[in-house]
Amino acid sequence: MDAEIYGRAWFKKVFDENYQYVLNYLYYLSGDIALSEDMVQDAFLQLWDKRNSVRDETVRQYLFTIARNCYLKNIRRQNYDLKFRSEALKDVENE
């Protein structure tokens, strides 16, 4: 029970100290505030899942790495969606 309470307190501290930095970074990358808020939420969820293996000294760097990977994953998904839609449109036009 004490470890769970400590984990929540640690996470709240990390969240409070880093949320705005990570959000600003993602907004800088994407230019979309709503998307940035979604990605920062994903980043903190991933941090929560890995909380037992994260060192306090590197938590901010780890968060920025997670955030960058969330952004890149989003870009890949958008590119795939565009490719799929353009191919589907070509198929419709050829019919």
* pLDDT band (50, 70, 90) for residue 88: low
Residue pointed to by tokens 């970074």: 25
pLDDT on residue 61 = 96
pTM given for the model:
0.78
51-60, 64-73, 83-92: which has the highest mean pLDDT? 64-73
* pLDDT band (50, 70, 90) for residue 47: very high
pLDDT beyond 60 at 1: no
Cα atoms in the 13 Å half-sphere on the side-chain side of 58: 9
pLDDT beyond 70 at 12: yes
